[in-house]
Structure 1
């Protein structure tokens, strides 16, 4: 069953988000928050029941973005404001269409996050890589004034512990 359609982007083949792509192509996805290695939701990328995800490497955004921890559950959010904030560090995974549909649902796309594209520098690779990323364009105005991070860690010095879904 297809996930929600994200009106802001398409798959590598040009099909709308959440549609089947029988080509077997893998799409690069940049993760910067709880999906990174060692973070609370990383396990969903490892669960083959959701599809396939292959680690490509560490990366950082080419443009600065505001990465904030916001909301009652201390969720990391990449505000879709390119040019503000810091270059954000994260990881790139190549995912199949099934995993991409799962991630759309997991990230509540398009309601909470929107799947957009940005360019990253992938360690050990020359030139920029265009990746999907889950950003947010709709948020309370005060979020712009929260402290900006460059590398999220749920156990970081910020003291804002992520509240996992299973505890809500």
Structure 2
């Protein structure tokens, strides 16, 4: 007959004839009396290192602050890349704010145009209102006329292509660079008259000879005292 007797953490087996004893040990230990009220004991990892304690469910997770900074950085990089493809354009006629064709400058379907400020040409040019539709033209005759006032925009390639088509470039107008003196910059409290930059300007060398004899203007307004209101394209015969 075999006799089983608990001893410590194992079982003592005693045989009937030989009286030999053999102890069977177990790697399992009795459950603690308070099991269920705390976390279970950590199981050993290979190499004898204990596993880290489990994170309680009610502990808040650490905020991923780097993710928001990454998005801001990517937006800045996108704006910087976009700025590299932008061109400065100086408009002096119907594309200015409050004028009949300004709607095209804010139509994002045609491209991006960002208002930067007001300026005027460093050199004098004759600005005339000519033709049956009372269209403003800056004649490309440097040194004649007035310092022409207008607005400075930065535009993307799509808007620049639209403006070329809208202005009939290069037949009706020609897009050339001119030096523009900044009179007022967007977001600045004071005038920046000492700043000069180069901008694209749609002037013309393909004008009618008699246009040189027309009155010269320094600041175009379709509703000005000249009485020559601009005729919109959709209203022309």
State the alpha-carbon separation in 2 of the partners of residues 54 and 127 from structure 1: 19
| 4+ runs deviating over 3 angstroms | none
**Paired residue for 1:67, among 127, 130, 155?**
127
> Higher relative CO (CA 8 A, sep ≥ 6), structure 1 or 2?
1
TM-score (norm 1): 0.85
**Paired residue for 1:79, among 130, 135, 139?**
139
Q: Give the superposition deviation at 1:92.
A: 0.3
Match of 2:182 in 1: 122
Q: Give the superposition deviation at 1:139.
A: 1.3
State the alpha-carbon separation in 1 of the partners of residues 167 and 206 from structure 2: 14
Alpha-carbon RMSD = 1.2
SS in 1 for 2:201: strand
Match of 2:213 in 1: 145
SS in 2 for 1:46: coil
State the alpha-carbon separation in 1 of the partners of residues 221 and 141 from structure 2: 21
Q: Give the superposition deviation at 1:127.
A: 2.5
SS in 2 for 1:55: strand
Count of aligned pairs:
147
TM-score (norm 2): 0.60
State the alpha-carbon separation in 2 of the partners of residues 23 and 135 from structure 1: 25
5+ residue gaps, structure 1, are 1-21
